[in-house]
């Protein structure tokens, strides 16, 4: 991985180019600003998660050109949890196509808690792949399509997106398996609704394992940059996801990625993102950068407190919001229509 400071990236708001040095100094600034913030609480409904070190705090940005800048504990490992949902959704789109994927799960924000044992009454399918019901539906379809090797394929895909071999935190996996009664109930509901036709325990094995994959803030930044870079890992240059899968995944991240805080996030930060109860947040600036943040204390919506503050700071500092007033929009369309 390169960490050269020579590459220039262009700001979305049309102002002067932002150099990596500038991004790095923003990361350092926000790290120092929020390091002492102890608001929120670590997730404790999964017993192993209650044992994490609450003060760890790391940030990373990876660019489409394959450059990485970091601040703080950017190499500290934690479990990916719900951030995995974005990537298994992209995987199912690639493996099974849109028709089969959308026969199993919708793309509507639910307004319900992430672990609600409920389906969309109109479709008898989960509302979207970012809540547990939707992610378990996706895991079920992957298990059905790929057979017993499904999780190995998930781990391999996540590793290619991160650009290094990832592994599973077996303790967190066992802890989730032991205590995940709501998720088991959701699994049975989905099987009864014929969303998948394989044993619920096999499906939950995939789901609990995907949530227990160990990553760092740097890994998340590279995984985000892989989505930003149209599915190609910008460091290894490996083709990881198809373009349709990337487009659909970023769309659902934008509308549903941040639990019950998704609307606030879309308005305040304006980027497709996904958080997990392990304290990670991933955010994507289309065609430009991936952002990874890790800090285990969560707010009431389940999002990392310091992670959210950092993403707001980066979005403001670099003009990243998709609908920023100074965003020049698509010069391609303007040229075609001879606007101006
Ligand atoms: N494995 C966790 C669960 O199913 C993931 C939750 C999350 O990160 O939102 O409860």
Return the number of other C-beta atoms located less than 10 Å from residue 237's C-beta: 10
Which pLDDT value is given to residue 259?
A: 83
Which pLDDT value is given to residue 3?
A: 37
What span, in angstroms and rounded, lies between the C-alpha atoms of 320 and 23? 12
Q: Are 125 and 67 contained in the same domain? A: no
What span, in angstroms and rounded, lies between the C-alpha atoms of 143 and 152? 11
The partner residues of 274 in beta bridges, in order of sequence, read 282
| 17-47 core/surface letters (b: 16 or more CB in 10 A; e: else) | ebebebbbebbeebbeebeeeeebebbeebe
Q: Predicted confidence band at 261 (pLDDT cuts at 50, 70, 90)?
A: confident
Q: Are 219 and 277 contained in the same domain? A: yes
* Tokens found for residue 337: 């229509």
Local structure of 131: helix, strand or coil? coil
What span, in angstroms and rounded, lies between the C-alpha atoms of 216 and 169? 13
Phi and psi at residue 291, to the nearest 5°: -120, 135
Given the residues 31, 34, 82, 131, select the one marked as catalytic. 82
Does residue 222 lie within any of the structural domains?
Answer: yes
Q: Are 247 and 282 contained in the same domain? A: yes
Q: Are 264 and 302 contained in the same domain? A: yes
Q: Predicted confidence band at 245 (pLDDT cuts at 50, 70, 90)?
A: very high
Per-residue pLDDT at 15 exceeds 50: no
Q: Are 182 and 236 contained in the same domain? A: no
Range of the domain at 57: 18-81+214-319
Q: Are 43 and 89 contained in the same domain? A: no
Q: Are 187 and 104 contained in the same domain? A: yes
Local structure of 314: helix, strand or coil? helix
* Active-site residue flag, 277: yes
Per-residue model confidence as pLDDT tens digits over 23-52: 999 999 999 999 999 999 999 999 999 999
Closest Cα to residue 19, out of 318, 316, 285, 293? 318
Q: Are 86 and 74 contained in the same domain? A: no
CA–centroid distance, 184 to ligand 1, in Å, is: 12
Per-residue model confidence as pLDDT tens digits over 140-171: 999 999 999 999 999 999 999 999 999 999 99
Which pLDDT value is given to residue 226?
A: 98
User: What is the 3-state secondary structure of 243-290?
Assistant: HHHHHHHHHHHHHHCCHHHHHHHHHHCCCCEEECCCCEEEEEECCCEE
Q: What is the DSSP letter of 9?
A: E
Given the residues 277, 285, 293, 305, select the one marked as catalytic. 277
Per-residue model confidence as pLDDT tens digits over 270-302: 999 999 999 999 999 999 999 999 999 999 989
CA–centroid distance, 87 to ligand 1, in Å, is: 14
Report the pocket of ligand 1 as residue ranges, CB < 6 Å: 81-82, 114-115, 132, 176, 183, 211, 276-277, 302
Q: Are 86 and 199 contained in the same domain? A: yes
For a substitution probing ligand 1, which of 42, 43, 44, 46 has the most ligand atoms within 8 Å of its CB? 46
Kindly provide the residue ranges of all beta strands, DSSP E only, lying in the chain, ordered along the sequence: 8-9, 18-19, 58-63, 68-72, 78-79, 167-168, 213-215, 273-275, 280-285, 289-294
Per-residue pLDDT at 223 exceeds 50: yes
Helix%, strand%, coil% for the chain, nearest 5:
50, 15, 40
Per-residue pLDDT at 178 exceeds 70: yes
Q: Predicted confidence band at 325 (pLDDT cuts at 50, 70, 90)?
A: confident
Asked if 275 contacts 304 with a C-beta cutoff of 8 angstroms, the reply is yes
What span, in angstroms and rounded, lies between the C-alpha atoms of 41 and 50? 9
Q: What is the pTM of this model?
A: 0.92
Cα separations in angstroms, 175 against 59, 131, 165: 27, 20, 23
Greatest CA separation found in the chain? 62
What span, in angstroms and rounded, lies between the C-alpha atoms of 26 and 317? 7
Which pLDDT value is given to residue 18?
A: 52
Give the CATH number of the domain where residue 130 resides. Answer: 3.40.710.10
Per-residue model confidence as pLDDT tens digits over 131-142: 999 999 999 999
259 Cα nearest atom in ligand 1? 9
Mean confidence (pLDDT) of the chain: 91
Q: What is the DSSP letter of 49?
A: G
* Active-site residue flag, 259: yes
45 Cα nearest atom in ligand 1? 10
Least confident residue range of 1-5, 106-110, 319-323: 1-5
**Count of domains in the chain?**
2
Which pLDDT value is given to residue 111?
A: 82
Closest Cα to residue 142, out of 204, 81, 231? 204
* Tokens found for residue 48: 């192993």
């Amino acid at each position: 991985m390169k960490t050269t400071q020579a590459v220039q990236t262009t700001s979305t708001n049309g102002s002067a180019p932002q150099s990596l040095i500038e991004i790095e100094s923003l990361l350092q600034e926000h790290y120092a600003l929020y390091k002492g913030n102890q608001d929120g609480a670590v997730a404790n409904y999964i017993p192993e998660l209650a044992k994490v070190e609450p003060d760890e705090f790391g940030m990373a940005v990876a660019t489409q050109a394959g450059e990485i800048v970091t601040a703080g504990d950017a190499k500290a490992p934690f479990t990916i949890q719900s951030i995995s949902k974005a990537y298994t959704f992209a995987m199912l789109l690639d493996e099974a196509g849109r028709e089969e994927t959308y026969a199993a799960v919708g793309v509507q924000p639910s307004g319900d808690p992430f672990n609600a044992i409920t389906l969309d009454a109109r479709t008898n399918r989960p509302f979207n792949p970012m809540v547990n019901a939707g992610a378990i539906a996706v895991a079920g379809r992957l298990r059905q399509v790929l057979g017993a090797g499904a999780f190995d394929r998930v781990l391999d895909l996540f590793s290619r997106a991160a650009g290094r071999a990832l592994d599973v935190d077996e303790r967190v996996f066992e802890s989730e398996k032991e205590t995940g009664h709501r998720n088991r109930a959701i699994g049975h509901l989905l099987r009864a609704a014929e969303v998948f036709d394989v044993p619920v325990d096999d499906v939950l094995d995939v789901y609990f394992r995907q949530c227990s994959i160990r990553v760092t803030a740097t890994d998340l930044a590279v995984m985000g940059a892989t989505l930003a870079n149209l599915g190609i890992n910008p460091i290894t240059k490996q083709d990881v996801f198809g373009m349709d899968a990337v487009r659909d995944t970023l769309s659902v991240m934008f509308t549903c990625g941040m639990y019950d805080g998704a609307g606030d996030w879309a308005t305040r930060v304006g980027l497709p993102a996904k958080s997990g109860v392990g304290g990670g947040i991933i955010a994507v600036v289309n065609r430009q950068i991936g952002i990874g943040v890790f800090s285990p204390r969560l707010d009431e919506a389940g999002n990392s407190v310091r992670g959210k503050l950092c993403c707001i700071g980066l979005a403001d500092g670099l003009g990243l919001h998709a609908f920023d007033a100074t965003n020049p929009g698509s010069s391609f369309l303007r040229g075609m229509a001879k606007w101006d």
